[in-house]
């Protein structure tokens, strides 16, 4: 039984691991029930090739990765520039920036886990271009790239896509991580994330996939039961700095890691996936180590990890599962996607 507090060095906060609580009875709602497989093309989908979006614009008949400006931007050039000054100590400013959508593939029915490695490399290449282009804009101080996947994280359209928020501010998690990385490098002469990788490899129990210049693992300090990190071994500020060989290794590790997550319960696995990349605010961010964090909200099939008193009220996470046990579950499943195995079995 694991029942202890673990230090999260990137977020600079404690995580309570209390694995004995995962089997407590549950009388509430069960989420994410299996749905019929979506079609390869959906005439109602605003992301499928050739379809019209709410803005009235029509998607091109694209064949690979397709990037466009979000029709419902969170930050954007149309946000009001002239604002009413708030009273007293309150502050405001224009929600400037750019929001984009990146479709992974014209196929409506595939998940990122089902894409062949060449398609994942193509996607990462497109994200490299986006990071360079958006990060070079003077008004953009950070480029957040993320995929929300599954209805339990608020996405009803299964068409595989991610989003980009190029903002005038640096997201809080990245700001803390950049400061912690710089402080660690100054104090120890080593990149913080490289020390995380070293500790994971020394222990070994939470490692998932290793391929040349990249690896994945459930971190020691995981906040969600199946939280998983995918990282290159070398320290780079962003995905844009990965060389061709590193990109291949990274894509292979990311692909197999996602396959293992989907194979766990043989269903499209919901998660929030975030690329952790250095701010583009013109400052140096020594020791910042690009990586991907996958945060799955389910702790069992159909059972959400609810954010409640500790997380929302207190700001620290309580994880009801031992990261070592969850990593073992992910290592025990096949590295071949269950849909591919089913298709092979059907002949």
Query: Residue 229 pairs with which residues in a beta bridge?
Result: 217, 293
Q: Which of 10, 15, 19, 48 binds Zn ion (CB under 5 A)?
A: 48
Q: How far apart are CB 338 and Zn ion at their closest, in Å?
A: 22
Candidate ranges 45-53, 84-92, 169-177, 196-204; the one touching Zn ion (CB under 5 A): 45-53
| Site membership for Zn ion, residue 124 (CB under 5 A) | no
Q: How far apart are CB 40 and Zn ion at their closest, in Å?
A: 9
Residue (of 109, 174, 108) closest to 144 by Cα position: 174
Query: Which residues make Cβ contacts (< 8 Å) with residue 39, sequence separation at least 6?
Result: 108, 109
The residue sitting closest to Zn ion, measured at its beta carbon, is 45
| Site membership for Zn ion, residue 47 (CB under 5 A) | yes
Nearer to Zn ion, 42 or 173 (CB): 42
| Site membership for Zn ion, residue 113 (CB under 5 A) | no
Candidate ranges 36-44, 208-216, 253-261, 297-305; the one touching Zn ion (CB under 5 A): 36-44
Nearer to Zn ion, 119 or 295 (CB): 119
Task: Say if residues 275 and 288 touch (Cβ distance below 8 Å).
Answer: no
Q: How far apart are CB 45 and Zn ion at their closest, in Å?
A: 3
What number of other Cβ atoms are within 10 A of residue 4's Cβ? Answer: 11
Catalytic residue (one of 108, 142, 159, 161)? 161
Candidate ranges 48-56, 65-73, 113-121, 252-260; the one touching Zn ion (CB under 5 A): 48-56
| Site membership for Zn ion, residue 101 (CB under 5 A) | no
Task: Say if residues 158 and 110 touch (Cβ distance below 8 Å).
Answer: no
161 is catalytic: yes
Torsion sign, CA atoms 166, 169, 172, 173: positive
| Site membership for Zn ion, residue 149 (CB under 5 A) | no
| Site membership for Zn ion, residue 107 (CB under 5 A) | no
d(CA 258, CA 224): 16
d(CA 273, CA 224): 13
Query: Which residues make Cβ contacts (< 8 Å) with residue 247, sequence separation at least 6?
Result: 121, 124, 125
d(CA 23, CA 328): 18
Helix (H, G, I), strand (E, B), or coil: what is residue 204?
coil
Query: Which residues make Cβ contacts (< 8 Å) with residue 143, sequence separation at least 6?
Result: 130, 131, 134, 135, 164, 165, 166, 238, 277, 280
Helix (H, G, I), strand (E, B), or coil: what is residue 186?
helix
Residues 155-184 binding Zn ion (CB under 5 A) are 159
β-pairing, 228-232 vs 214-217, is antiparallel
Q: Which of 59, 73, 104, 108 binds Zn ion (CB under 5 A)?
A: 108
| Site membership for Zn ion, residue 295 (CB under 5 A) | no
| Site membership for Zn ion, residue 298 (CB under 5 A) | no
Q: Which of 10, 17, 19, 45 binds Zn ion (CB under 5 A)?
A: 45
Nearer to Zn ion, 147 or 256 (CB): 147
Candidate ranges 154-162, 177-185, 264-272, 324-332; the one touching Zn ion (CB under 5 A): 154-162
Candidate ranges 28-36, 41-49, 69-77, 134-142; the one touching Zn ion (CB under 5 A): 41-49
Active site positions, annotated? 161
The site for Zn ion (CB under 5 A) is made up of 42, 45, 47-48, 108, 159
């Amino acid at each position: 039984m694991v029942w202890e507090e673990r230090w999260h060095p990137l977020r600079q906060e404690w995580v309570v691991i209390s694995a004995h609580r995962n089997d407590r009875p549950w009388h509430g709602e069960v989420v994410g029930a299996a749905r019929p497989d979506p079609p390869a093309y959906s005439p109602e989908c605003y992301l499928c090739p050739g379809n019209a979006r709410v803005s009235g614009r029509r998607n091109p008949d694209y064949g690979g990765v397709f990037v466009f400006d979000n029709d419902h931007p969170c930050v954007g050039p149309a946000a009001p520039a002239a604002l009413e000054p708030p009273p007293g100590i309150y502050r405001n400013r224009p929600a400037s920036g750019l929001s984009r959508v990146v479709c992974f593939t014209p196929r409506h029915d595939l998940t990122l886990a089902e894409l062949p490695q060449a398609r994942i490399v193509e996607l990462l290449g497109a994200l490299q271009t986006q990071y360079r282009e958006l990060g070079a804009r003077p008004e953009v101080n950070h480029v957040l790239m993320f995929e929300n996947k599954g209805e339990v994280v608020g996405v009803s359209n299964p068409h595989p896509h991610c989003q980009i928020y190029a903002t005038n501010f640096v997201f809080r998690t990245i700001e803390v991580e950049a400061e912690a990385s710089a402080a660690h490098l100054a104090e120890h002469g080593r990149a913080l994330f490289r020390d995380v990788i070293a500790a994971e490899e020394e222990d070994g129990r939470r490692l998932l996939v290793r391929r040349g210049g990249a690896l994945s693992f459930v971190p020691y300090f995981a906040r969600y039961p199946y939280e998983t990190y995918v990282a290159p071994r070398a320290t780079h500020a962003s995905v844009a700095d990965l060389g061709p060989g590193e990109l291949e290794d990274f894509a292979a590790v990311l692909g197999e890691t996602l396959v293992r997550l989907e194979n766990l319960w043989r269903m499209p696995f919901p998660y929030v996936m975030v690329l952790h990349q250095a701010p583009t605010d013109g400052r140096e961010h020594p020791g910042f180590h690009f990586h991907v964090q996958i945060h799955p909200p389910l702790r069992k099939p159909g059972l959400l990890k609810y954010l409640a008193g500790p997380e929302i009220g207190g700001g620290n996470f309580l994880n009801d599962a031992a990261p070592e046990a969850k990593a073992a579950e992910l290592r025990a499943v096949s590295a071949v996607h269950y849909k591919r195995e089913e298709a092979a079995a059907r002949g």
